[in-house]
Amino acid sequence: MSLVALAGARVVLGVSGGVAAYKAVDLCRRMVEAGAHVSVILTEDAHRFIGPVTFSALSSEPVHTSLWDDASPIPHTRLGQSADVVVVAPATARVLSAYRTGYSHDLLSATLIATRAPVVVCPAMHTEMWENAAVQDNVVELRRRGTVVVDPEHGRLAGGDSGAGRLAAPEAILGAVAAALVPVGDLAGMRVLVSAGGTREPIDAVRVLANRSSGRQGHAIAEAARARGAKVTLVTTTELPVSAGIEHIAVETASEMSTAMMASAPSADVVIMTAAVADFRPERVVDGKWKKSDGAPDIRLVPTEDILARLGETKRSGQILVGFAAETSDLVSRAREKLVRKNLDLVVANDVSAPGVGFGHDTNAVTILSASGESREVALSSKHDVAVAVLDSVCRALAGIRRG
């Protein structure tokens, strides 16, 4: 994971009162090691979980805890104005509510209101709290305003049970912070079309033929393209959250995805086909629900349309077309064959049989091959970092077209 953007950056790290507050110590250490100047704000409730001495020893200056006891007479203004990015990890439900409504009752909330720097919030709370409608409304509104929200992960929680609400992995948070610091603009004015998720082909009224794709890589690419100034259209089968400013088209089947992609592709400067489209679908969909008492259904499969190949056939001059190749063997040779056969400018290949790679993971490792013969390997890292690497290659390809 590249953290070059953190070198020399002034980061305000807000730590609020949740059990995950101890994890912010590692975030602080990593950001300082990456060259950032880190100023830590501890809320009053955060003191119940972690002490200020630890952060003072690891951060770049003494910890800030109060609007009234700081060396500066207006600490929230000083911190907010001097920050290149403000990060809140963990962000409790209370902090999310205060930030959304502008309720500046302590130093952290006042600093959030006082800054014009990018803000990254990393929620962490119990599953019932995270899924509460009020909390989700706050998250949706913060995203609409441009706040970067690093969603919590599924995992073991403080109460001993498991579910959504666990603070995101430090790699994911650091990747989001680094991305927030990257100057926006190398895709400004460009129209980027991205597909994401695995298609679902109906067998009967309740059953589908599907695959393991979560859609996270496609969504990460869409978010990263938006952050770099592009006008993004995302065609997706998932219910993952989508930031304001991204045109969202929901589909389910390969046929629906084909219709949406072919309608949007002619006006796009860049088309990135990340979705895992089913190669086959049932020839006939059973009316209603197939009963177990009816015996095993006789399902005849027929090929679906090759959307990527069709996009390659209809690609207009100057358009960049990117495909993905999920393989389990002969990764590079099969990906390069796909690059040529489908008239791609770039192909992103990943070995989905490798640990932590591809479907269902928060991480990925890929090899990016270009039609010009270039090759770039991206080691196991967050899907956001992979998205950044893919878009870097897209920008190089666009630059090559301009020079040519």
Which active-site residues does the annotation give?
A: 211
What is the rounded distance in angstroms from the CA atom of residue 196 to the CA atom of residue 387?
13
User: What type of residue is 174?
Assistant: L
Helix (H, G, I), strand (E, B) or coil at 367: strand
User: What type of residue is 69?
Assistant: D
CA within 13 Å, CB half, 357: 18
Other CB atoms within 10 A of residue 310 CB: 15
Q: Which two tokens stand for residue 35?
A: 């060259």
> Which residue blocks in 115-215 are alpha helix, DSSP H?
127-130, 133-144, 170-181
- State the helix-helix crossing angle for 93-101 and 133-144, rounded to 10 degrees: 50
Q: Which one-letter DSSP state was computed for residue 179?
A: H
User: What type of residue is 356?
Assistant: G
Helix (H, G, I), strand (E, B) or coil at 377: strand
Q: Which one-letter DSSP state was computed for residue 371?
A: T
Other CB atoms within 10 A of residue 189 CB: 9
Annotate 154-185 with b (16+ C-beta within 10 A) or e (fewer): eeebeeeeebbbbbbbbbbbbbbbbbbbbeee
CA within 13 Å, CB half, 38: 29
Burial (Cβ within 10 Å: 0-12, 13-18, ≥19) of residue 262 = middle
Distance, C-alpha 29 to centroid of its chain: 23
CA dihedral 310, 312, 314, 318 (to 10 degrees): 160
What is the rounded distance in angstroms from the CA atom of residue 290 to the CA atom of residue 204?
7
Residues 6+ apart with CB under 8 A from 317: none
Residue 326's nearest CA partner among 281, 273, 251 is 273
According to DSSP, the residues that pair with 350 across neighbouring strands are 326
CA within 13 Å, CB half, 249: 18
